[in-house]
Amino acid sequence: MPPPDAATTMEAILYPAVGFGALCFVTTFASLNLPAFKSLEWDNRFFVAVTMAALLNASSVSYSSVTSLLELFTGPKAVTADCGPTSIVTAAAPSPVIYACWLTCGYFVQDCLMMVLYPAETKKGLGGSTPYMIMWLHHVGSLFAWPWAMLTDQTAVFVTYCLATEITNIGQNFFMLANRGGVTALKAIEAPVGIAWMISFFVVRVVPVPYIAYAYYKTLIVGGGCGIPTAPWLASLMMVPIPVGLNLFWFNKIVKKAIRMLGKQKDGDKKK
């Protein structure tokens, strides 16, 4: 079961989720009307606004999620990729990351609302219909799977890892504000922020993939779910690979974008 001091009652879940979702909603609409962004074209202004809400979420949950993940893997009862009392499949998540989960769920609901209200702008900001549908899959799937995992201690460690990867979104959102949002004040640091973001994405989201695949194979396939009920086991078999696949998909797009930007820079240097 989750730690005794974890926010697991309906009231303790809804208050932070609804409150933080409302804060993200206010941040989005406040950003639409900030004088600094008023001169931007509508599409860019909308992109900046939703990016500001995403930045708020990433900044709010990263510390507690990363420290919780470190606790799970380095603490006195460090999780293992085997079945048993410290299995990565059945270990309880620390209280801070459980609370962070409720905050992020609130942000996901807010972001889904923006995708419903502004589908055309969201599709353009994300880069087309495919990323738009992927975002729906990510948000809706997480809204169902993450709370269940945290409350039942079934694959809660995998959810903790997903929440910890939000730390890379801090650099991503700053880069997006400079590169695609047209925020002039950030243009000077666009390149270093972009490089730092790409490195952090690779270290946090790509490097762990072999271990995640190994743990997935040992516990959910060979171990048959390590004793968790059949329905959660089948759900885990389907859900755990999704963020791994998405991370590899997005990293591929990041690398391609970096190559395009370098190509444009070289062309500009030749023209000089």
**Domain ranges (residues) in the chain:** 10-271
Scanning the structure block, which residue is given the tokens 């696949």? Answer: 245
Strand partners, 80: 87
How distant, in Å, are the alpha carbons of 127, 174, 177, 188 from that of 108? Answer: 19, 19, 20, 31
The model scores a pTM over 0.75: yes
Please tell me the distance from the alpha carbon of residue 131 to that of residue 125, in angstroms, as a whole number.
10
* 226 three-class SS: coil
Q: Can you tell me whether residue 232 is helix, strand or coil?
A: helix
Q: How far apart are CA 195 and CA 201, in angstroms?
A: 10
pLDDT tens for the 272 residues of the chain, in order:
666 666 667 778 899 999 999 999 999 999 998 887 888 889 889 999 999 999 999 999 999 999 999 999 998 889 999 998 899 999 999 999 999 999 999 999 999 999 999 999 999 988 889 889 989 999 999 999 999 999 999 999 999 999 999 999 999 999 988 887 777 778 888 889 989 999 999 999 999 999 999 999 999 999 999 999 999 999 999 999 999 998 998 898 888 877 887 776 655 555 55
Q: Is 51 exposed, middle or buried (0-12, 13-18, 19+ CB in 10 A)?
A: buried
